[in-house]
Each structure stands twice: as C-alpha cells, then as structure tokens.
C-alpha cells in the first residue's frame, strides 16, 4: 500500500518536525520544496539556474517551474511506496497539476492557535556564531543569552519578531486558504490539532496515525 501524503500548516506549527517523525515511522521520504530548490541550485541544473534567478531577484518561483521540479522528484524510485510532501502545493494551479501526475491519499493540515505559534517562533534564539537553535521556554541555554556549544551570543532573527510573525501568518492564510479549500472539497484534507508542546508530540502523531490507518 502506498501513502502519498501532503503536509500543510502555517509557519511555526512544527510540520517539518512531524513530517520527520512520520517519514521514519512509515519508511517513506519527506520531500521539502525548499530543499528541492536548494539542491537544484547547488547542482546547477537548467531548472536550478532558473530557480536561482527568481530567488536572487526576490521573485516567487512560477507555478510551472515548481510543478516540474516536484513532478521530477516524485518520479524517483524512493517514492514508489509513498512520500510526505512539505511545502507543496502552495497554489490551486499547483494542486490541480499534482492531481494529474500523482494521486494524493490524504492532506494532513496541522493547525494551532496564533498565540501558540507566536510563542513558538517568538521564543526562538539562534547562536550568532554556530547557528544552534534554542527556545527561551522549551530548549533554554544553560546561561541566558549564551550558546552552550560555542559560547556565542544568542540572537532573535528579524523574521521571528511578533509583528513579522503576525504578517507571516496573515500571508499564509491568504495564500493557502484556497488550496486547503480545494483539497477539502476533494475529500482529502483532514485537520490535526498541533497545539501541543514538543514533549507531547506523540499526541500529534497519534492523530496522524488515525487518519493514515484509514487508508488501509
């Protein structure tokens, strides 16, 4: 049985973490569109050069380019038993194209209240020297403001400040609501309550398991 899964959710909800858990549990690859972009650019393929031009100029990569990249990746042998697709589709045309080249079994839509997401993202601190990531509440350093690994200074990234997070959430909802609506109408979208802290990740994975077991 194959498991072709789409992962949706706002920034900071933790979907990358949950996808990693599910990838290991079910033995299917986690495919991130961001990773595909970086890989194509690094390999300097024709597609990679086009993507680099868009990214460098600050423009969104066009749907047809993203579709081509994802389609090529899903045709690779490791996807024959299924995949977890994180960061795609982002638009209705991408979703429509996906339905043509790959059958999707379920779209897991991770949801959490804005205040939970803002606390998660707003509490992050990154080491200015080695890049290690901490959280003031969930993963605090031994000494406040100092990295445990290299004694570098911990800083808050500009895109992790409250006003920026609010804007990111608004943009996400505006851009992806049509995609969620499209997948829900197709009977594919299921909501997963992701408000739990990382130590309770089992409660989130259990909800995913319940939905995935229905695919048998």
By annotation, the residues acting in catalysis are 15, 90, 124, 157, 168
**Chain CA centroid to CA 138, Å:** 20
φ, ψ (nearest 5 deg) of residue 179: -65, -45
The domain limits of the chain are: 3-113+169-213
Can you give the pTM of this predicted structure?
0.84
Q: Closest by alpha carbon to 92, among 169, 185, 215?
A: 185
CATH architecture, domain 3-113+169-213: 3-Layer(aba) Sandwich (3.40)
Per-residue pLDDT of the chain (216 residues; tens, 9 = 90+): 689 999 999 988 988 889 999 999 999 999 998 889 889 999 998 889 988 888 888 777 899 999 999 999 999 999 999 999 998 998 899 999 999 998 899 999 999 999 999 988 899 999 999 989 999 988 899 999 999 999 999 999 888 888 888 888 888 888 888 999 999 999 999 999 999 987 788 999 999 999 998 886
């Amino acid at each position: 049985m194959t498991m072709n899964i789409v992962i949706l959710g706002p920034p900071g909800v933790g979907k990358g973490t949950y996808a990693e858990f599910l990838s290991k549990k079910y033995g299917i690859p986690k495919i991130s569109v961001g990773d595909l972009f970086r890989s194509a650019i690094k390999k300097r393929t024709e597609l990679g050069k086009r993507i680099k031009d868009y990214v460098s100029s600050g423009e969104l990569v066009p749907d047809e380019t993203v579709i081509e990249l994802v389609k090529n990746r899903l045709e690779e042998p490791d996807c024959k038993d299924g995949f977890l697709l994180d960061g795609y589709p982002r638009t209705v045309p991408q979703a429509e194209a996906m339905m043509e080249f790959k059958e999707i079994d379920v779209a897991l839509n991770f949801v959490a209240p804005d205040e939970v997401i803002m606390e998660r993202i707003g509490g992050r601190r990154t080491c200015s020297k080695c890049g290690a990531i901490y959280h003031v509440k969930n993963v605090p350093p031994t000494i406040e403001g100092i990295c445990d690994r290299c004694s570098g200074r911990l800083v808050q990234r500009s895109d992790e400040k409250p006003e920026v997070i609010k804007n990111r959430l608004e943009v996400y909802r505006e851009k992806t609501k049509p995609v969620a609506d499209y997948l829900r109408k197709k009977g594919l979208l299921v909501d997963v309550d992701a408000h739990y802290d990382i130590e309770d990740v089992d409660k989130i994975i259990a909800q995913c398991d319940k939905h995935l077991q229905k695919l048998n």
